[in-house]
Amino acid sequence: MAKRAISAQAVAQTEEATKNAIVMPFLRVLGFDVFDPTQIIPEYVADVGLKKGEKIDYACKIGDRIEYLVEAKSVSTNLRDAQFSQLFRYFHTCDANIGILTNGLHIWFFTDLEAPNKMDATPFFKFDLLSYDDNDLKELEKFHKSNFRIENIQAAASSLKYLRGAMSFIEGQWASPDEEFVRLVARGFYDGKLTGAVVEGLKPIVRRAFDDLFRQRARHKIDVAFDGGADDAIPAVDENKVDTTPDELQGFMIVRAIAAEVAPVSRITMRDAQSYCAIMFDDNNRKPIARLHFNGKSKFVTVFGADKEGVRHEIGRVEDIFGLGGPIRSVISNYLSGQ
């Protein structure tokens, strides 16, 4: 599905093309027969107040009830800027449980956590076809037609809403801790009086504590990849004696840490080259896992699929490779199953 989305991205610039090339296949992934009018109703019409004859792109039925309403935008549309007032109005009129807004590459899921039968202004779950992990797939599975249980989805939606809020708060405090937060943390280790001057002096310490804690946790996860730090954990690079940079080595260690969940890390090997650093399974160039492209102005990682086709992922920092855990584990599992 992701491969189809990437291929269609360059040509499916209209809403209709996006629907045919990406959205309909996505609905099939969710278990719907897109050609069965008892399951999928395209161009669904319902009169909403004074607005007559408005259409929503798809209404998805499970049993005899419309559960999902889908509004599609062109693949070039940024969903943050998209207008989707029809989805809000139809959500209330049709008593649907889930509203879906998509441009084919990004799929946003809405429900009514704030007020009954009124769609929330912000999505409780976002799925990105170009960048997802195992947790995202587990959440997406809840929306499959055969798995649909509205009570499970609503419980997950509530949890995801608060998780998103907690992450946003922590991220903000990490970047710039406010006085109240610093006082809360300081009470755990500072015995003196927390005057304004003391709190101001502790702010950079609290911010540094966030950074150091993250590094320690990341380092612990990376260390798993080395089976306790064996001397032969890092294989030699190829005979060209290309200089392997610290970023490439760190990237390789992160891929090993991810791979450790599905395979012995000794089977994950590296060969450096002039233009990229290759990571392979069993030191076999016919079993590529990823390529680290860190020598240019921007960093990106190519992760290979079962068809040996590579998918490019732009990253800002080497640590962002942790976000590619799903596709990395998937290609390794394919090699294991083919033994």
List, in sequence order, every residue forming a beta bridge with 60; answer none if it has no partner. Answer: 40, 68
Please give the share of the chain, as a percent, with pLDDT higher than 90.
18
* pLDDT at position 280 over 70: yes
59 Cβ neighbours under 8 A, 6+ residues apart: 40, 41, 44, 66, 68, 69, 70, 94, 96
Kindly state the tokens that stand for 242.
């290309």
The pLDDT value given to residue 62: 92
Task: Report d(CA 233, CA 265) in Å as an integer.
Answer: 8
Please give the share of the chain, as a percent, with pLDDT higher than 70.
85
> What one-character DSSP code corresponds to residue 310?
E
DSSP helix/strand/coil, 207: helix
- Range list of β-strands (E), 86-131: 98-102, 106-110, 125-128
Task: Report d(CA 320, CA 339) in Å as an integer.
Answer: 30
Q: What pTM was estimated for this model as a whole?
A: 0.53
CA nearest to 72, candidates 82, 60, 62, 61? 82
Provide mean pLDDT across the span 81-95.
Answer: 75
* pLDDT at position 323 over 80: yes
The pLDDT value given to residue 226: 53
* pLDDT at position 182 over 70: yes
* pLDDT at position 235 over 60: no
* pLDDT at position 212 over 90: no
Provide mean pLDDT across the span 209-226.
Answer: 68
The pLDDT value given to residue 237: 45
